[in-house]
């Protein structure tokens, strides 16, 4: 989603680029030396202006307005970026563009009225100096936007508009195995704030369209009470993404966690997420107990087709309700 944001140049790099381009400017020769040098100086000014303004405009156009982002991304960026500083940085670029445009017109007008070649050169150099000064003035803002770009690049590349199923449960209950079984193609790992493992994103092609399947190692796999405030907020951002949570239980307890611990985590997720939850017992090839939950084996594929039907039924019902709200 944020991959189209270009590399943010430093103020010095923009100034260097501006001078390099203006030095290469050529115009047709004229018998009138004064007119030639006046036109050359004006052409160089507008070339330098175009380089500086187009570079800044590219950043203003491609950096997103946080308030217009999907709530999932907005919540994550609230944790990672100083919104006021971000807004001020983009506003400073708009201010600089206006100033540089104004200077270009002002000095081009001055050059048109001079009677000496030296004066044309003098005004051109004045324009360069004032434009360079403006760019140096916004240097800290450019540096901050470069920092924000790196943060945005590390956010998970997820389509928040797609119907999404989040797989939850303790480690080793078979979440990643289930994502692989459900996914049409090989799932990909995407970075996620405050977890070193990232999240695993797969896609399921159905008769109703594409459905996103997300495994959340390091997130919905242990009690929220053990997290700090920022980690909790990063985890709760998933509520804006999920149309359905599939919570995997391992009744065999070969995952290393007691069934009671797993059920406590399930209760906590139910309280924290206002999202439909489908409880599924995995590892039916090892242990099958009497309960009202659907039983599958992600390892052998047993029960997975039935699970897919249930997922589609729940996701479609939830999506229809959301559209009516």
Residue 214 maps to which CATH number?
3.40.50.300
pLDDT > 80? residue 322: no
115 and 199 share a domain?
no
What number is the average pLDDT over the span 174-184?
90
CA distances from residue 57 to 46, 90, 95, 238 in whole angstroms, order as listed: 16, 10, 11, 33
23 and 108 share a domain?
yes
184 and 130 share a domain?
no
Instruction: Name the residue with higher pLDDT: 68 or 219.
Output: 68
What number is the average pLDDT over the span 69-96?
95
Domain that holds residue 31: 11-153
The pTM score is: 0.83
pLDDT > 80? residue 48: yes
238 and 307 share a domain?
yes
When mean pLDDT is compared across 89-93, 94-98, 160-164, the lowest value belongs to 160-164
pLDDT number for residue 206: 81
pLDDT number for residue 325: 35
pLDDT > 60? residue 248: yes
Bridge pairing between strands 294-295 and 277-281? parallel
pLDDT number for residue 319: 53
pLDDT digits (tens, 9 = 90+) for 107-142: 999 999 999 999 999 999 999 999 999 999 999 999
126 and 237 share a domain?
no
Domain count, the chain: 2
pLDDT > 70? residue 324: no
pLDDT > 50? residue 321: no
88 and 184 share a domain?
no
pLDDT above 70 as % of the chain: 97
pLDDT number for residue 73: 93
What number is the average pLDDT over the span 38-51?
97
- Mean pLDDT of all residues belonging to the chain: 90
CB 239 within 8 A of CB 275: yes
238 and 214 share a domain?
yes
């Amino acid at each position: 989603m944020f991959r189209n944001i270009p590399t943010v140049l430093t103020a010095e790099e923009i100034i260097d680029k501006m001078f390099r381009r203006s030095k290469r400017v050529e115009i047709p020769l004229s018998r009138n030396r004064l007119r030639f040098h006046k036109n050359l100086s004006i052409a160089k000014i507008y070339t330098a202006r175009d380089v500086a303004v187009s570079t800044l405009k590219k950043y203003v156009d491609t950096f997103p307005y946080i308030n217009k982002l999907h709530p999932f991304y907005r919540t994550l960026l609230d944790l990672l970026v100083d919104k006021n500083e971000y807004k001020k940085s983009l506003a400073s670029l708009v201010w600089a563009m206006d100033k540089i445009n104004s200077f270009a017109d002002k000095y081009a007008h001055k050059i048109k009225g001079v009677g000496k070649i030296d004066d044309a050169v003098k005004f051109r150099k004045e324009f360069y100096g004032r434009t360079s000064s403006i760019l140096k003035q916004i240097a800290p803002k450019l540096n901050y936007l470069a920092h924000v770009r790196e943060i945005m690049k590390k956010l998970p590349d997820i389509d928040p508009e797609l119907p999404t199923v989040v797989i939850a449960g303790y480690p080793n209950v078979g979440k990643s195995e289930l994502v692989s079984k459900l996914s049409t193609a090989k799932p990909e790992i995407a970075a996620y704030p405050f977890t070193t493992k990232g999240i695993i994103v797969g896609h399921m092609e159905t008769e109703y369209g594409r459905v996103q399947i997300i495994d959340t190692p390091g997130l919905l796999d242990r009690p929220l009470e053990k997290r700090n405030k920022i980690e909790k907020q990063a985890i709760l951002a998933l509520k804006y993404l999920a149309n359905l949570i599939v919570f995997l239980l391992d009744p065999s307890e070969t995952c290393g966690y007691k069934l009671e611990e797993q059920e406590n985590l399930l209760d906590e997720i139910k309280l924290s997420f206002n999202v439909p939850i489908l409880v599924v017992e995995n590892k039916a090839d090892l242990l099958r107990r009497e309960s009202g939950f659907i039983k599958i084996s992600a390892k052998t594929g047993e029960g997975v087709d039935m699970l897919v039907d249930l997922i589609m039924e729940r996701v479609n019902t939830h999506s229809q309700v959301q559209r009516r709200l």
